Amino acid sequence: MRGISSAAAAIALASACALGAAAAGLPLAPLSSLGKLTPAPSPGSLGPEDVPVPNAKSLLAAAQKVTLGETIDGVSCQRVEKVAYHIHVHLTIFVDGQARAIPYGIGIGPPIEGVNTSAGPFVTVGKCFMWLHTHAYDGIIHVESPNRRTYTLGQFFAVWGQPLSATRVGPAKGKVTTFYDGKVWTGNPGDIPLTSATQIQLDVGTPIVAPEHIVFPKGLLPASSTPTTTSK
């Protein structure tokens, strides 16, 4: 692309190599295995985390209430965010070809508070924080853990309080087509590992929308630090 620096090109190449290594051994198939797909829609406007917020008419499902000290599927809710291991994952959901929003506040114990930025709401305060949680409507899953370990999409849905299987995503029922970093995930969607800068998409029913792609802002990449939030 015109104007790209050699340093940026090197970073892009290194990221692609790392992605290929991370995907090794995973149950993946090429996009071509699905035949013709509906093109992904244009990204929405940037939200408070500099990530596009989907143009969705409704939430997929509300977040369930979590409480201080509670553990759900091996994920605990603690008074402050644990950032010894801190990465971010992007999740997009379509039901019958229509985008569904993922709520802010998943995994954050009420009462929650936040700021209404010009780009949308962002949760800053909660009674407790699960190691998997969301701050905005942009589909960014924050993995903030006291130790380095691999969490799964199934654990995130358990924290959300919603079912996830090959035939169901929350309240939406039908054949689920799953994408992992631009490829077709052929295994159980609940087993998808939440690794740094992973892009996951779940399509329920038809038409099947081709996987969206976002550019992770610098603040959500592992080499950068993100501001921590406080608890009540």
Q: Which residues contact 107 (CB under 8 A, 6 or more apart)?
A: 63, 66, 75, 77, 129, 130, 131, 132, 133, 134, 156, 159, 160
Work out the average pLDDT over 179-197: 98
pLDDT of residue 222: 81
Per residue in 12-25, pLDDT (tens digit) is 333 444 444 345 68
Model confidence pLDDT, tens digit, residues 6-63: 333 333 333 444 444 345 689 999 999 999 999 999 889 999 999 999 999 999 999 9
Confidence tier at 223 by pLDDT (50, 70, 90): low
Q: What is the pLDDT of residues 106-149, one digit of tens each?
A: 999 999 999 999 999 999 999 999 999 999 999 999 999 999 99
- pTM (2 d.p.): 0.86
